Structure 1
Amino acid sequence: MKLWPKRLPWLLCLALTATFLHTPTVQARGETPVDQLVVGMSMINLLSLDPAAATGLEVSEVNSNVYDMLLEQDAARPDQLVPALAERWEISPDRMRLTFHLRAGVTFHSGNPLTAQDVAWSLQRVVTLNKALASTWKAYGYSAENVTRLVRAEGPLTFVMDLPKPTDPMLVLNTLATSPSAFVVDRLTVQQHAQGDDQGAAWLTTHTAGSGAFKLDIWRANDVILMTRFDNYWRGPAKMRRVVMRNMTESQALRLMVERGDLDVARGMAATDIKALTRSDDVEVQTIPRGTLYYVAMSMEQPLFKDIKVRQAVRSLIDYEGINNVVMPHYGIINQRPLQLGLQARLDDPGYRLNVAQAKRLLAEAGYPEGFKITIRSLTDSPFINIATSLQSTLAQAGIQANIITGTGNQIYGAMRDRKFDILVGRGGGGAERHPHSSLRALVYNPDNREQAKLTNFQGWRTSFFDPQINSLIEQAEQERDPGRQLALYQQIQTLYDQQAGPIMPVSQMTDEVVIHADVRQYLGHSAATTRLRDVYKQR
């Protein structure tokens, strides 16, 4: 049974919340309490709060406020890593060991002191439970067999990570600063709630055991989350006394609540409603860049796309300018490289444009002067279906007849994982890690193209793109110690991928837009979805 009926008027909801938590209800109509931040967002993908298992942006928005990390990616300058639980860290001369020195005096919400053993156990737990978020650590070479030996406490406030194989330590540090698996849990509290050998997994699905600025009071799935300020937080108490997150999936309802002043922050609003709100002086729209890319992908299992000239023709039939000017406002910004915008290693866009004449010439040279028939798979959601529709139209100008097949995420990406598709409009990439290897590993790298390898985490494998030279350069760049040579390697990879007309063709880099009421101060949306609310307040 839900805490609040779905259609209950907002003022009554607020009154019930206040009554339940013994808080004053006196306030002006159409205003949220001055000491509470009220957020409207979709929670339909928020299935677990466990840092070892919880995936998706929504859970990061919650856990980043109830847990802490060793270090953080600076929200205003995401290329900079700043201390958090770790006051400082060191990289050994051979780049195979990271040593973290923890700050003293940090306590969990339970009152237990936070120690290096908690940090070690938290990461060991991610690997040994082997759920979704273990994949990143397994890619570094950690396993259930070696993690307790390599990831360990060396004293109450010294935490050590030995790397199983050579990699760029900055890549590991970026993971520790952004991954939903890198939150530090209260080992003693979780162990008290363990069932058998689940290491507290069942309990942590719906509970938290953190040291963050807020404590979780209530989580009602697909309904509401209530968090209260943790007064003994090591950085000092948060400025807001309480955070209320409401599950809201209808964009027009979000817009109405913002206009009435019943929401302080709204996430997941449709582009049309955001555009309408930009005309109001009562709200601010904040654009947050994400690390993932919208792309057009071709399967090289399809004989047509094994021919580089056909791939080049499709590349010439993507209306990059039209898509980004018409479809992508409020969703993304143009990016034609398989690296995030803003990285030093990223080359400038190659400047691809819709060029039907060039596409027709390439198709004729490939033996398809009249074009061919093909399918495009896409989600029904915007902007995926809009990109697919644009592509269908421009392909037709060169004689390629494309039928659009829509479906759910499991159906569309499932076909990609099974390598059973022709063209697919998708989104993917390295996520929040501000490192070239993160994107290249996700989109380009494919160490084993055999069907039985089933490397479904590699989107290069999903498209059957296999280039030994590019693979080798990615591996070299990951381990290269000289920054200048590493930079040159990453730029060489981009050039070669461009020359090969790689089958994943980036169109735009994802952005999120958050609508914020005008009286909210210090809200800074984070590119890693770890938006921390400890400094947020209201000015009225």
Structure 2
Amino acid sequence: MFSQNRRRRFVLGAALLAVPLVVALSGCTAGGSTGGGAATSGSTSVVVGFKHEFNTMDPLHADYAQTNMVDNIVYEPLVQFDATDGNKMVGMLATAFTVAPDAKSIDFTLRSNVTFHDGTPFTAKDVKFSLDRYIRLGQGIASQLQGYKSTTIVDPTHVVVNLTAPNAFFINGLANVYIMEAAAVSTHAGTDDSQGWLQSHEAGTGPYQGTGTSSPDGTTVKRYDKYWGFDPKRPTQLVFRRIDESATQRDELKAGNIDVAFGLTASDAESLKGTSGIDVNFVKTSGQTQLFFNTSTGATADPKIREGLKLAFDYAGGYSKILDSEGTISNGILSPAFTCLAAPTPSAQNKAKAEQLLAGLGSTTLNLRYQSVDDTQTQLATLFQSNLKDLGVNINLVPIAFPDYLKTLSNPSTIPSLMLLNDYILTPDPGAGLDKLYNSANIGSTNKGAYKNPKVDALLSKARVTTDATQRCDLYKQIETQVESDSVAANMYQVAFPVGYRSDLKGITFSWSATPISFQTLRLG
């Protein structure tokens, strides 16, 4: 275990990223406060190294992992999934909730002892304001509110959320929808509905509050000691520091300059095992590494070509050589974290059949988009390119930033022919996720392959009005089987997210509310 006042060693060399301003402003060291208090007192700061750009604190964009990483501890939803039974929903800002028998409304009783970080009491008007704002802006987390009609304020501690049509899994999406302070956000509305202000400010009720120091390289949040669920074992401060290179995160963790490495490759994580004072956890998540195809235009509109591309990849080789055999090779379109799983369809290479199916491509070159800042994605993309080259198919690797990729979904003609990414469904009931990914009504927003199948649409519509969980599960299995047979994506691996961290930190476990862990559960000692 590290001493709380251990001396920090600086890793020198070109690979070391500049420390962002937010870290310089924090005035603290990794692993301890300037006073070197004991871990169990909660008097320390924790520095988290993460990958990719941190672009806003606006919970509108909490569907983006780097935003949700912070918003998940600054804001709170009405409900969340139970920590021990993911299929059960429990109250967060709501203490009780009832779904109407016709699944067209949900009644909420709100927690009465909650304040926002500026001291303003939380009331029903904040719920209505927040939900209406998401719908008004119509992007990001608004995808979780499809079918939302209005919020009726009964009194300061009671609201009814009304839907346009029966939707049994609407409430699952609310676990990822954060509530904001109406007064503070309205005051800074400007001409963009407060989006500019919320890039570096927040208006939440969570256990941590923002410090106004946000930049693309990270942010700093401080513990809110008037939080209704206060726990003194939470760190007093969390510093989120962008470090894109896995090797740099590894070395910074070993040197004591960061306390959590949140962007390691499997090999770098493996190399940390056995290091004194450092633990490693390959967190098995609800996410899958998938290669999505554009099913509507270009060569990949042909299901035979899509099937050939699926069969060409060396799943076993990538699993052992790139992922160090952590996680699992996919058995269908959903991660094994779920319970509503169709009959297994193990992903496996079949070069002979792939070559036969891909013969129709001729000399066509396909572009594969991937996130080059992710070392594992780069290796998997390169392996796929090599596999296809062996079959006489040319694959051009094209890096793309995730925010830029999301923009391509607005039109089927701009969706990449092949897109490699880790995709997560942040609800134990997969209905909402299946709906977003495979409902043709969501082409132009969350349907990643511009996929359209009337049979799947009909099954989703039926599931939406089915309140019995067992019956919905059967419908989900039918959807999974059909989507798998249509080769909408190459399902590659369950995401086992490697995290290295200081040994005296607790709570580094899988969470349904954030990807792949929530810092809500992080504790000292």
Q: Report how far residue 525 of structure 1 moved.
A: 4.8
Note if 1:272 corresponds to 2:270: no
Q: How does 1:321-360 map to 2 (within 5 A)?
A: 321-329=316-324, 333-360=328-355
1:141 equivalent in alignment to 2:147: yes
Aligned-pair distance for 1:396? 4.1
CA 1:391 to 1:206, structure 2 compared with 1: closer, same or farther past 3 Å?
Answer: closer
Match of 1:387 in 2: 380
Q: C-alpha deviations, 1:310-344, integer Å up to 9, x for none?
A: 44333332222222222234885322422232322
- Aligned residue identity for 2:425: G
Give the Cα–Cα distance (whole angstroms) in 2 for the partners of residues 13 and 65 of structure 1.
Answer: 18
- Residue in 2 that maps onto 1:176: 174
The residue aligned with 1:401 is 393
Query: What SS class does the counterpart of residue 268 from structure 2 fall into?
Result: helix
Moved more, 212-221 or 418-427: 418-427
Q: Is the 8 A contact 1:45 1:56 kept in 2?
A: no
User: Counterpart in 1 of 2:7?
Assistant: none
Q: Encode CA deviations 1:271-295: one digit per residue, 9 max, x unaligned.
A: 3322211231421122334444322
CA distance in 2, matches of 1:272, 1:346: 30
- Matched with 1:215 is 209
Q: 2:478 maps to which residue?
A: 492
Q: State the partner residue of 1:455.
A: 444
1:248–1:330 CA distance, 2 compared to 1 (3 A):
farther
Residue 49 of structure 2 is matched in structure 1 by: 41
Q: How does 1:69-148 map to 2 (within 5 A)?
A: 69-137=77-145, 140-142=146-148, 147=149
Of the candidates 466, 491, 508, which is equivalent to residue 480 of structure 1?
A: 466
Query: One-letter code of the match for 1:385?
Result: T
Aligned-pair CA distance for 1:98: 0.4
RMSD: 3.6
Change (3 A) 1:36 1:165: same
Q: Where does residue 162 of structure 1 map in the other structure? A: 162
In the TM superposition, 1:138-537 aligns within 5 A as: 140-142=146-148, 147=149, 150-168=150-168, 171-177=169-175, 179=176, 182-195=177-190, 198-223=192-217, 225-240=219-234, 242-249=236-243, 250-300=245-295, 305=300, 307-329=302-324, 333-360=328-355, 362=357, 373-379=364-370, 380=372, 381-397=374-390, 399-409=391-401, 417-419=411-413, 423-427=417-421, 429=423, 431-447=425-441, 455-461=444-450, 465-499=451-485, 501-529=486-514, 531-533=517-519, 536-537=522-523
Question: Aligned equivalents of 1:19 and 1:389: distance in 2?
Answer: 41
DSSP 3-state at the match of 1:383? helix
Matched residue SS, 2:420: strand
Structure 1: 5+ residue stretches without partners: 1-5, 449-453
Structure of higher CA gyration radius: 1
Q: Secondary structure at the match of 1:52?
A: helix
What CA distance in whole angstroms lies between the structure 2 residues aligned with 1:185 and 1:351?
43
TM-score (structure 2 length as normaliser): 0.83
Q: Counterparts of 1:422 and 1:184 in 2: how far apart (Å)?
A: 34
Partner of 1:3 in structure 2? none
* Cα separation, partners in 2 of 1:488 and 1:243, compared to 1, 3 Å: same
* Partner Cα separation in structure 2 for residue 213 and residue 352 of structure 1: 42
CA displacement, residues 23-42 of structure 1 (integer Å, 9 cap, x when unaligned): 973449xx999622322323
* Counterpart AA for 1:164: T
Give TM-score, length-normalised by structure 1. 0.81
Flag the 1:422–1:205 CA change in 2: closer, same or farther, 3 A. closer
Distance apart, 1:54 and its partner CA: 5.0
Residue by residue, what CA displacement relative to the aligned partner does 1:80-111 show, whole Å, maximum 9, x if unpaired?
A: 32221111111111111101111222222222
Q: For 1:350, what is the secondary structure of its paired residue?
A: coil
Q: Whole-Å Cα distance in 1 between the matches of residues 421 and 257 of structure 2? A: 33
Q: Is the 8 A contact 1:116 1:157 kept in 2?
A: yes
**What is the rounded CA distance, in whole Å, between the counterparts of 1:13 and 1:158 in structure 2?**
39
CA contact (8 A) 2:42 2:235 kept: no
Compared CA separation, residues 288 and 527, structure 1 to 2 (3 A) = farther
Q: Matches of 1:133 and 1:426 in 2, distance apart?
A: 22
2:5 paired residue number: none
3-state SS in 2 of match to 1:256:
helix
SS of equivalent residue, structure 2 residue 318: helix
Name the amino acid aligned to 2:225.
D
Runs of at least 4 residues off by over 6 Å:
6-10, 12-16, 31-34, 410-416
Tell me which moved more, 419-428 or 315-324: 419-428
Q: CA deviation digits over 1:224-264, x for unaligned, max 9?
A: 53333222211134423521314231433322332133332
SS of aligned partner of 2:210? strand
What's the secondary structure of 1:133's corresponding residue?
A: helix
> How many Å separate the matches in 2 of 1:273 and 1:17?
28
Match of 1:25 in 2: 34
* Kept after mapping to 1: 8 A contact 2:381/2:420: no
SS in 2 for 1:512: strand
Say whether the 8 Å CA contact 1:251–1:273 is kept in structure 2: yes
- Are the equivalent residues in 2 in contact too, given 1:32–1:264 (CA < 8 A)? no
Amino acid paired to 1:375: L
TM-fit CA distance, 1:517:
0.6
Share of identical aligned residues, percent? 24
Query: Cα 1:520–1:152, aligned 2, differ >3 Å: closer, same or farther?
Result: same
Cα distance in structure 2, aligned partners of 1:37 and 1:264: 9
